[in-house]
């Protein structure tokens, strides 16, 4: 029997921190707030590490029952926590990266108003995210799911005095509602047909199904609805629109929530419910298509963005697309692998970008940067690591995960592979574009001219503090950067495929979770390693060669992107304008993100608002409800206005009313008596 | 021998006169007198019924009515004095406002 | 027979006084006619054998209450009442209502009242019996009315007291 | 008995009583002038007849033939009615007052009383209480400020003191257990251990009640020391300032008739009515009863005049304070104590 790990403490600790900071933080000094926040978040991380130390001795999956939450008839939902390899990975990512970003935030937010508020929210987010990844049933998971949405709303709108921030928060929230709606319906369907939301029971029941058996379309429906939820949370087409706007929030938030952890919740959820998806091939295809499209689509947009954070945001979307592509081709472990590496390098990139912004006193527009290489070397080097990682240059982390996904995609269908490849090319292109524009060339900003407090485009004023001019960030910000940089260099090595004479540890580690999904290649490889007869050797080698070939191609694509970026943005900086002018319409379209927002605004938002205003507001609320109230009030007024004349204050008239009343009473009594 | 109904008719006439006085008179004091008139009419019917049914309680009720009338007259006249002190008039038609 | 004559005579006096109360425009005349009404009512009570009631009627009503009225009339020097058009309502509704009510009552009395007569002095309303009744069956109402009177006295004092303090002499 | 003689006897009694009363009124005036004169160390009327005994006649003649002038500013109907009201109510109360028990003349045996009502006392009270209208209306209808003030004072004062008066009588009523004057008097027959007559004055602490009655009665009749309504020094002559000749005479008669009535009531209720020491044959008995009764009334009237000659006049607020704050509580206390005594004794 497993020892009791008290998993429930892991989510609870940040909650305590949030409660303390939220309740009393106003009176605390900044140091005290920092202490509380870091203490509890770090405690959670430490506990996660301790869990890892215990992990080998556990019989998996390991569930811990804390309390019964809902019991309605046969249906029961508990406060119970579920630990297996997948949730362990997520747990490490969330608590670790989260802890690092907490540290980073201390430096980044030090000058901000509402410091305690920020950390209270951050801890709150940690609580919900950990609940999400540790939940042992869909309902508890949904709590975390909604909670992280709430936290993200609060943090996006952290500078709520800024109109754009507030509306961005609302946008994120509402768009997420759509997804959550799908998720919720999926949960209802599960309850209706399987009478439970507990992972183990549900999956046991479902594993009896198979794509051929009846009820497959039910699973498809459930899977698709779940996917809708995932799209909402993980910013996939068509619900990705909130993520770019979410960059209104403070950069650490963007790093933690909108790059590393929360947006990957969708991927995690899909991976978690792989049992359902595997039995719904149609749904899988949809997931793959959505993933690929999102990846390419976002990448193309990212090419044209000039706001450093926006570029990263779109790259995030496209990377998430990769993950969904992986899930779509049933390579869940690959998806999770990419999730992990992505958490490292994208968190790193965001933090580095934040450091750059910090250095430039709030400047976010890349066109006003450049030549920062020498001025902020640490940021530069860390960012370089991140850039190479995301661009998929070996041996950085991103290379392995992305290559894995591409290879799997190819095995599913070459179209996926092609799109993925082009996406990889584009990714490396715009990332290096960002890299070059930010750190190379000569400085295009105006910060030296009149000290600090320059145009605080993105993050509002607070950066205009003390020392003017460009300055390296404090240690407290740099240390997390370095750690993450290291991670994004070596992070991929846990998953070196056999084709490169590695043993895909990560995939093997996750295998028990996805055992049912181990694809043919995996089987062969295991077979090979198990030394099954020599028959497999030939194709084995061919498959290796093919894989290596594809790897080479993708690396070449990445390098091409690097070269192009160098050519366009360092060598001939005037070239991009020419190109842009040459293919004018397309460039505009890309620049305006394919007018998706406008499209949504016209198709959904505007009709909704107009309908609400005309029908609900003017029609029902004013026309019916208010009208009835007002009308009755007016009627009462009129009646009393006429009756009022009885109250003339004249005693004799009162007496007359009494007299007539008495006469009436007498008449009635006579009538009664005479009946 | 007088039928009971005669007394009742008499009391009814008195009562009606009282009501009429209340309706047509303008002077507060006169109106009060009209009230007294009504009470007297009622008293008459009380006594008549008492005699009719050989029930002394009717007469007892007359005493109560008298006491109430006395109290009412006392307070009413005091009120009249107060009103006159503030408004310089006894005409109810001019005493139709709650506040001055 | 004598009884009927006396009844009719004083009944007519009653009605005459009541009507006079209405037609007189000066409150003091109305007061006097009301006194006449009360006096003749006392006689009617005597005819009904309620002599104690009659006496009390004279003492309390004519002797005390109406004296108060006359006193107030004299105090306020109430003059002829002016014919102001205060309320049409009283004429348009009150009078018809009153007439209607009284007509109905009259109709009831004429049609439904038995012919059995009330003989003079039918019932010796001797003070002793009344006292028995008043202080045994009706003790509680009696006490309550006494409290009522007390309250009325205090209210009258409070109401009629001058707002400003009296002159040191207390004379006016 | 049959109706004819009854009416006859009643008429005779009425005429007699009226005659006696009016004469008494006239000679009470004479008496007062004499007594007050002597008190003030003068002679009083002496010219007309021996000791001025015919003075009342002369006054009457004078009043009759004096010009009866009516001021132009008065409210005529009431101005004329007021004195009549006064005198009528003053004379009415004699109707229920018994002068003696029974008189037997041959076949006829009648009580020395115009009519014996078993609530005679109440009737007397009611009639006297109505007497106030004469004064009040006269004061008002004269339409002059002195008269008005007089009338106001009179009505207020009389209403106030009526309460004390009535309450002082209640004690006696409780003791004798009746409202009929005749029975009350009968209840006072006999003596305590031989020599003290059983008058209410000496009996059951009614001496207090008697004095309360005395004060109240003086006030009721507007006599000194309570003659505020006609205080010469303040209001010329009070409510009858504007009156002259016969109307004035009526007020005069009314006042003195009231005095006599009060005296009768006092002697009936407190002083044992007609009970007297001497005895004899029945006709003599009747006459003696009349004599004793007259004597008591005379004494009472003498005290009246004596007081008038002696005491000064109250101030009005003193009057009211005396009535409400002294007499009334005293009367109530007396009533309560008497009631307790009777209740405990039975």
d(CA B99, nearest CA chain A) in Å: 11
Q: CB C148 to CB B54 under 8 A?
A: no
C144 Cβ partners below 8 Å, 6+ apart? none
Q: Give the number of other CB atoms < 10 A from CB of residue A354.
A: 31
Amino acid A185: pLDDT: 92
The number of distinct structural domains making up chain B is: 1
For residue B99, being part of any structural domain is answered with no
- Tell me which residue in B17, B66, B80 faces C18 most closely, judged by beta carbons: B17
Q: CB C74 to CB D133 under 8 A?
A: no
Share of chain D above pLDDT 90, in %: 0
| Mean pLDDT (whole number) for A381-408 | 87
Question: What is the DSSP code (8-state) at residue D108?
Answer: E
pLDDT digits (tens, 9 = 90+) for D22-59: 888 888 888 888 888 888 888 878 888 787 788 888 88
Which of A268-277, C106-115, D14-23, D235-244 is the least confident region? Answer: C106-115
pLDDT digits (tens, 9 = 90+) for D251-303: 888 888 888 888 888 888 888 777 777 666 766 777 777 888 888 888 888 88
Residues A134, D299: Cα–Cα separation, whole Å: 122
Which of A645-649, B42-46, C103-107 is the least confident region? Answer: A645-649
d(CA C101, nearest CA chain D) in Å: 35
Residue of B nearest to C55 (CA): B63
Amino acid C119: pLDDT: 57
pLDDT digits (tens, 9 = 90+) for A554-571: 888 888 888 888 888 877
Structure tokens at A314: 């779109």
Q: CB C70 to CB D139 under 8 A?
A: no
d(CA C117, nearest CA chain D) in Å: 25
Share of chain C above pLDDT 90, in %: 0
| Mean pLDDT (whole number) for D232-247 | 78
pLDDT digits (tens, 9 = 90+) for A65-81: 888 888 888 888 888 89
For residue B57, being part of any structural domain is answered with yes
pLDDT digits (tens, 9 = 90+) for C43-60: 888 888 788 888 888 888
pTM as predicted: 0.56
How far is C-alpha A448 from the chain's CA centre? 37
List, in sequence order, every residue forming a beta bridge with D192; answer none if it has no partner: D196
D298 vs C94: which has the higher pLDDT: D298
Contacts by C145-148, CB closer than 8 A, 24 or more apart: C145/B64, C145/B67, C145/B68, C148/B67, C148/B68, C148/B71
pLDDT digits (tens, 9 = 90+) for D95-113: 888 877 776 666 666 777 7
Q: Which residue has the tokens 């959550």?
A: A180
Domain with residue B15: its CATH number is 1.10.287.3510
Q: CB A655 to CB C90 under 8 A?
A: yes
Residues D77, A178: Cα–Cα separation, whole Å: 100
For testing the chain B interface, which of C44, C101, C129 should be mutated: the one with the most B CBs within 10 Å? C44
d(CA B98, nearest CA chain A) in Å: 8
Residues A398, A383: Cα–Cα separation, whole Å: 14
Amino acid A214: pLDDT: 61
Query: Which residues from C are below 8 Å from A663, CB to CB?
Result: 97-98, 100-101, 104
Residue of C nearest to B12 (CA): C102
d(CA D125, nearest CA chain C) in Å: 7
For residue B32, being part of any structural domain is answered with yes
Q: CB C104 to CB A666 under 8 A?
A: yes
Q: CB B78 to CB C156 under 8 A?
A: yes
| Beta carbons of A122 and A102 less than 8 angstroms apart | yes
d(CA A645, nearest CA chain C) in Å: 10
Amino acid D36: pLDDT: 86
pLDDT digits (tens, 9 = 90+) for A144-184: 999 999 999 999 989 888 888 888 888 888 888 888 999 99
Report which listed range, A522-531, C133-142, D94-103, D227-236, is most confident.
C133-142
List of chains touching B (3+ CB pairs within 8 A): A, C
| Beta carbons of B60 and C134 less than 8 angstroms apart | yes
- Chain B, 29-58: which have a CB under 8 Å from a chain A CB? 31
Instruction: Tell whether A666 is within 8 A of chain B (Cβ).
Output: no
Q: CB A659 to CB C104 under 8 A?
A: no
pLDDT above 80 (res C32): yes
D77 vs A123: which has the higher pLDDT: A123
pLDDT above 90 (res B12): no
d(CA A673, nearest CA chain C) in Å: 11
- pLDDT band of residue A450 (cuts 50, 70, 90) is very low
Amino acid A458: pLDDT: 42
Q: CB C93 to CB A659 under 8 A?
A: yes
A203 vs B99: which has the higher pLDDT: A203
Amino acid A524: pLDDT: 42
Query: Which residues from A are below 8 Å from B31, CB to CB?
Result: 651-652
List of chains touching D (3+ CB pairs within 8 A): C
How far is C-alpha A633 from the chain's CA centre? 51
| Beta carbons of C81 and B25 less than 8 angstroms apart | yes
Q: CB C74 to CB D152 under 8 A?
A: yes
Residue-range definition of the domain harbouring residue B17:
4-94
For residue B100, being part of any structural domain is answered with no
Q: CB B92 to CB A649 under 8 A?
A: no
Closest of D275, D253, D295, D306 to residue D64, by C-alpha: D253
Amino acid D278: pLDDT: 66
Amino acid A43: pLDDT: 92
- Nearest 5°: the CA angle A258, A263, A266 is 175
Amino acid A468: pLDDT: 55
For residue B55, being part of any structural domain is answered with yes
A262 Cβ partners below 8 Å, 6+ apart? A125, A129, A148, A151, A152, A233, A256
Buried/exposed code over A139-163 (b: 16+ C-beta within 10 A; e: otherwise): bbbbbbbbbbbebbbbbbbbbeeee
Query: Which residues from A are below 8 Å from C106, CB to CB?
Result: none
Q: CB A649 to CB B19 under 8 A?
A: no
Q: Which residue has the tokens 């290489």?
A: A373
Query: Which residues from C are below 8 Å from A655, CB to CB?
Result: 90, 94
Q: CB C149 to CB B64 under 8 A?
A: no
Amino acid C172: pLDDT: 44
Structure tokens at A60: 């998996």
pLDDT above 50 (res A209): yes
For residue B73, being part of any structural domain is answered with yes
- Tell me which residue in D123, D162, D316 faces C55 most closely, judged by beta carbons: D123
Residue of D nearest to C77 (CA): D140
- pLDDT band of residue D163 (cuts 50, 70, 90) is confident
User: Burial of A583 by CB count in 10 Å (0-12 exposed, 13-18 middle, 19+ buried)?
Assistant: exposed
Q: CB C64 to CB D117 under 8 A?
A: no
How far is C-alpha D309 from the chain's CA centre? 18
């Amino acid at each position: 029997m497993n020892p009791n790990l008290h998993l429930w403490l892991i989510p609870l600790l940040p909650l305590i921190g949030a409660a303390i900071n939220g309740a009393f933080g106003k009176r605390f000094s900044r140091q005290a707030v920092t202490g509380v926040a870091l203490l509890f978040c770090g405690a959670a991380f430490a506990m996660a590490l301790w869990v890892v130390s215990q992990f080998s001795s556990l019989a998996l999956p390991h569930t811990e029952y804390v309390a019964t939450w809902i019991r309605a008839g046969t249906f029961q939902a508990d406060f119970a926590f579920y630990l297996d390899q997948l949730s362990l990975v997520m747990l490490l990512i969330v608590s670790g990266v989260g802890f690092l970003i907490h540290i980073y935030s201390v430096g980044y937010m030090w000058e901000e108003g509402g410091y305690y508020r920020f950390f209270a929210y951050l801890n709150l987010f940690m609580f919900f995210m950990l609940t999400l990844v540790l939940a042992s049933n869909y309902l508890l998971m949904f709590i975390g799911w909604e909670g992280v949405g709430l936290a993200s709303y609060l943090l996006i709108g952290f500078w709520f005095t800024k109109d754009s921030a507030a509306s961005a928060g609302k946008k994120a929230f509402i768009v997420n509602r759509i997804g959550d709606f799908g998720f919720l319906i999926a949960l209802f369907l599960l309850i209706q047909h399987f009478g439970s939301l507990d992972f183990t029971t549900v999956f046991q029941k479902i594993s009896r199904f198979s794509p051929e058996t009846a009820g497959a379309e039910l699973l498809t429906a459930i899977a698709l609805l779940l996917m809708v939820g995932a799209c909402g949370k993980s910013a996939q087409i068509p619900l990705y629109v909130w993520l770019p706007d979410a960059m209104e929030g403070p950069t650490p938030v963007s790093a933690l929530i909108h790059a590393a952890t929360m947006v990957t919740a969708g991927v995690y959820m899909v991976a978690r419910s792989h049992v359902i998806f595997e039995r719904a091939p149609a749904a899988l295809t949809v997931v793959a298509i959505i993933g690929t499209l999102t990846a390419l689509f976002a990448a193309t947009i990212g090419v044209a963005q000039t706001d450093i954070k926006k570029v990263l945001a779109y790259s995030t979307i496209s990377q998430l697309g990769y993950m969904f592509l992986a899930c779509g081709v049933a390579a869940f472990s690959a998806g999770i692998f990419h999730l992990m590496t992505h958490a490292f390098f994208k968190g790193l990139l965001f933090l580095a970008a934040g450091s750059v912004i910090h250095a430039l006193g709030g400047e976010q527009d890349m066109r006003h940067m450049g030549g920062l290489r020498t001025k902020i070397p640490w940021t530069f080097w860390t960012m370089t690591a991140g850039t190479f990682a995301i661009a998929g240059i070996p041996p950085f982390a991103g290379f392995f995960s992305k290559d894995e996904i591409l290879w799997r995609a190819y095995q599913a269908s070459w179209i996926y592979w092609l799109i993925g490849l082009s996406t990889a090319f584009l990714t490396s292109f715009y990332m290096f574009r960002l890299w070059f524009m930010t750190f190379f060339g000569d400085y295009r900003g105006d910060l030296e001219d009149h000290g600090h407090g320059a145009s605080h485009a993105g993050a509002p004023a607070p950066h205009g503090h003390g020392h003017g001019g460009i300055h390296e960030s404090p240690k407290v910000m740099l240390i997390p950067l370095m750690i993450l940089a290291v991670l994004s260099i070596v992070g991929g090595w846990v998953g070196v495929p056999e084709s490169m004479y590695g043993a895909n540890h990560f995939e093997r580690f996750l295998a028990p979770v996805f055992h049912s999904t181990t694809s043919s290649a995996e089987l062969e490889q295991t077979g090979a390693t198990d030394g099954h007869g020599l028959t497999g050797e030939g194709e084995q080698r061919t498959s290796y060669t093919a894989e290596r070939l594809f790897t080479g191609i993708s690396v070449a694509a990445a390098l091409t992107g690097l070269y192009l970026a160098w050519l366009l943005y360092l060598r001939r900086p005037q070239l991009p304008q020419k190109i842009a002018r040459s293919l004018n319409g397309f460039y505009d379209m890309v620049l305006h993100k394919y007018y998706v927002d406008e499209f949504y605004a016209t198709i959904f938002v505007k009709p909704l608002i107009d309908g609400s205003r005309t029908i609900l507001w003017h029609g029902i609320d004013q026309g019916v409800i208010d009208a009835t109230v007002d009308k009755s009030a007016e009627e009462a007024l009129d009646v009393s206005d006429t009756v009022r004349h009885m109250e003339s204050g004249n005693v004799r008239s009162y007496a007359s009313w009494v007299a007539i009343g008495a006469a009436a009473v007498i008449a009635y009594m006579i009538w009664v008596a005479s009946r | 021998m007088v039928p009971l109904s005669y007394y009742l008719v008499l009391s009814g006439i008195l009562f009606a006169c009282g009501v009429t006085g209340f309706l047509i008179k303008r002077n507060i004091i006169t109106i009060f007198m009209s009230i007294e008139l009504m009470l007297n009419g009622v008293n008459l019917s009380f006594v008549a019924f008492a005699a009719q049914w050989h029930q002394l309680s009717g007469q007892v009720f007359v005493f109560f009515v008298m006491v109430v009338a006395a109290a009412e007259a006392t307070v009413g006249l005091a009120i009249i004095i107060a009103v006159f002190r503030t408004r310089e008039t006894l005409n109810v038609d001019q005493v139709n406002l709650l506040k001055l | 027979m004598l009884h009927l004559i006396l009844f009719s005579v004083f009944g007519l006096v009653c009605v005459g006084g009541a009507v006079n109360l209405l037609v007189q425009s000066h409150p003091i005349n109305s007061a006097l006619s009301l006194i006449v009404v009360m006096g003749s009512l006392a006689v009617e009570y005597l005819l009904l054998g309620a002599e104690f009631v009659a006496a009390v009627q004279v003492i309390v009503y004519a002797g005390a209450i109406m004296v108060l009225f006359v006193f107030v009339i004299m105090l306020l020097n109430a003059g002829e009442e002016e014919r102001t058009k205060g309320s049409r309502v009283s004429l348009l509704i009150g009078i018809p209502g009153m007439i209607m009510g009284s007509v109905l009552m009259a109709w009831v009395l004429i049609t439904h009242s038995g012919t059995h007569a009330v003989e003079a002095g039918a019932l010796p309303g001797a003070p002793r019996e009344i006292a028995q009744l008043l202080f045994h069956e009706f003790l509680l109402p009696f006490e309550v009315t006494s409290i009522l009177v007390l309250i009325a006295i205090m209210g009258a004092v409070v109401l009629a007291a001058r707002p400003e303090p009296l002159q040191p002499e207390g004379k006016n | 008995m049959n109706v004819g003689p009854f009416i006859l006897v009643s008429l005779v009694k009425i005429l007699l009583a009226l005659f006696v009363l009016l004469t008494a009124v006239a000679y009470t005036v004479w008496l007062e002038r004499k007594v007050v004169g002597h008190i003030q160390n003068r002679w009083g009327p002496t010219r007309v007849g021996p000791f001025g005994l015919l003075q009342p006649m002369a006054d009457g003649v004078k009043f009759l033939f004096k010009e009866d002038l009516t001021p132009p500013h008065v409210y005529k109907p009431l101005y004329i009615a007021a004195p009549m009201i006064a005198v009528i109510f003053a004379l009415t109360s004699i109707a229920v007052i018994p002068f003696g028990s029974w008189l037997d003349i041959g076949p006829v045996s009648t009580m020395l009383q115009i009519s014996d009502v078993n609530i005679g006392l109440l009737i007397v009270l009611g009639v006297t209480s109505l007497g106030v209208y004469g004064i009040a209306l006269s004061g008002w209808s004269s339409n002059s400020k002195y008269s008005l003030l007089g009338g106001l004072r009179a009505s207020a004062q009389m209403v106030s003191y009526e309460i004390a008066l009535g309450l002082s009588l209640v004690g006696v009523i409780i003791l004798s257990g009746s409202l009929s004057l005749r029975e009350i008097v009968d209840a006072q027959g006999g003596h305590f251990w031989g020599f003290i007559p059983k008058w209410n004055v000496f009996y059951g602490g009614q001496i207090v009640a008697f004095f309360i009655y005395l004060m109240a009665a003086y006030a009721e009749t507007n006599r000194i020391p309570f003659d505020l309504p006609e205080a010469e020094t303040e209001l010329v002559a009070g409510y009858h300032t504007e009156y002259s000749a016969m109307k004035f005479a009526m007020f005069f008669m009314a006042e003195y008739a009231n005095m006599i009535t009060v005296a009768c009531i006092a002697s009936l209720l407190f002083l044992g009515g007609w009970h007297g020491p001497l005895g004899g044959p029945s006709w003599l008995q009747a006459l003696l009863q009349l004599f004793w009764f007259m004597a008591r009334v005379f004494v009472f009237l003498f005290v009246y005049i004596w007081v008038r000659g002696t005491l000064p006049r109250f101030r009005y607020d003193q009057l009211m304070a005396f009535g409400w704050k002294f007499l009334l509580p005293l009367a109530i206390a007396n009533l309560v104590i008497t009631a307790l005594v009777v209740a405990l004794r039975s």
